[in-house]
């Protein structure tokens, strides 16, 4: 089986050395870029499976690298950042970020996030491929999401959230259920992760953003009783 190739973009040598060692022990091939410009040059030349991208980098910061890569590729990108403000993370998610982890982090958590992203990357859904709800339509085979017949780009995590919600409109999905289904691990300590991704997803729904309802203290549901009745 071909190894997954991970590009680590990190200017702090001690951290990079540690992460590279752990990734190689897990069987990944790792390419190290020390700044944003080097990362973009490597990305043009190499077949990269996944990118671990620091936010604060010399020459081009992580957000700039993210934007430029998203102009031509949907390669999964996990941001490594000391920033924890929701506004910063939401901005990166809007630019196409797939996942993030805040410093300091446990290496097992990072490895778990990588496994989940790679699993979703290679996973094809069986059974049913098309789901519709009101103005929304999802095709799992083509990995397409449509609003009023127009394609809307979603990151893999946003797409996965929408799949879970659209499969069971009117059914409340708890935050824990969404974390287990999409992230695939117990997410200890950062309970607002789902909220951050839902906010980014809503921002892409335009006038239909309120069809994703918040159930206070529990989680989220797609549609309300009127919409659910309307489409049945």
For the chain, the domains span 5-122, 130-231
Return mean pLDDT, the chain.
85
pTM greater than 0.75 (yes/no) = no
State pLDDT tens for residues 43-79: 999 989 999 999 999 999 999 999 999 888 888 899 9
- Which contiguous run of DSSP H or E holds residue 147? strand 144-147
For residues 182 and 23, which has the higher predicted lDDT (pLDDT)?
23
Task: Tally Cβ neighbours within 10 Å of residue 9.
Answer: 28
Which CATH number is correct for 5-122, 3.40.50.720, 3.30.420.40, 3.40.50.2300, 1.10.3720.10?
3.40.50.2300
What values do phi and psi take at 31, rounded to 5?
-115, 130
Task: Tally Cβ neighbours within 10 Å of residue 117.
Answer: 21
Q: Give alpha helix (H) positions in 71-134.
A: 86-94, 107-122
Residue 125: per-residue pLDDT: 35
State pLDDT tens for residues 113-155: 898 888 776 643 334 568 899 999 998 767 789 999 999 999 8
- Cα dist from 29 to 17, 24, 51, 180, whole Å: 14, 6, 12, 27
Query: What architecture is domain 130-231?
Result: Orthogonal Bundle (1.10)
| 83 — pLDDT class (breaks 50, 70, 90) | confident
Q: What percent of the chain has pLDDT over 70?
A: 86
């Amino acid at each position: 089986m071909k190894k997954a190739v991970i590009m680590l973009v990190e200017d702090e040598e001690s951290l990079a050395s540690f992460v590279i060692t752990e990734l190689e022990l897990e069987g990944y091939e790792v390419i190290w870029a020390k700044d944003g410009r080097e990362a973009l040059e490597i990305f043009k030349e190499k077949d990269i499976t996944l990118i671990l991208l620091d936010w604060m980098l010399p020459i081009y910061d992580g957000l700039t690298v993210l934007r430029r890569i998203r102009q031509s590729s949907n390669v999964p990108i996990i941001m490594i950042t000391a920033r924890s403000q929701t506004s910063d993370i939401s901005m990166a998610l809007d630019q196409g970020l797939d996942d993030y982890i805040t410093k300091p982090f446990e290496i097992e958590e990072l490895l778990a996030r990588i496994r989940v992203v790679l699993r979703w990357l290679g996973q094809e859904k069986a059974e049913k491929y098309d789901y519709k709800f009101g103005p929304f339509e999802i095709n799992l085979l083509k990995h397409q999401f449509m609003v009023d017949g127009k394609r809307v780009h979603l990151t893999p995590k946003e797409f996965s959230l929408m799949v879970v919600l659209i499969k069971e409109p009117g059914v409340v999905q708890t935050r824990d259920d969404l974390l287990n289904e999409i992230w695939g691990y117990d997410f200890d300590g950062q309970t607002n992760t789902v909220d951050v991704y839902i906010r980014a997803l809503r921002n892409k729904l335009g006038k239909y953003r309120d069809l994703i309802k918040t159930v206070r203290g529990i989680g989220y549901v797609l549609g309300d009783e009127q919409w659910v009745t309307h489409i049945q």
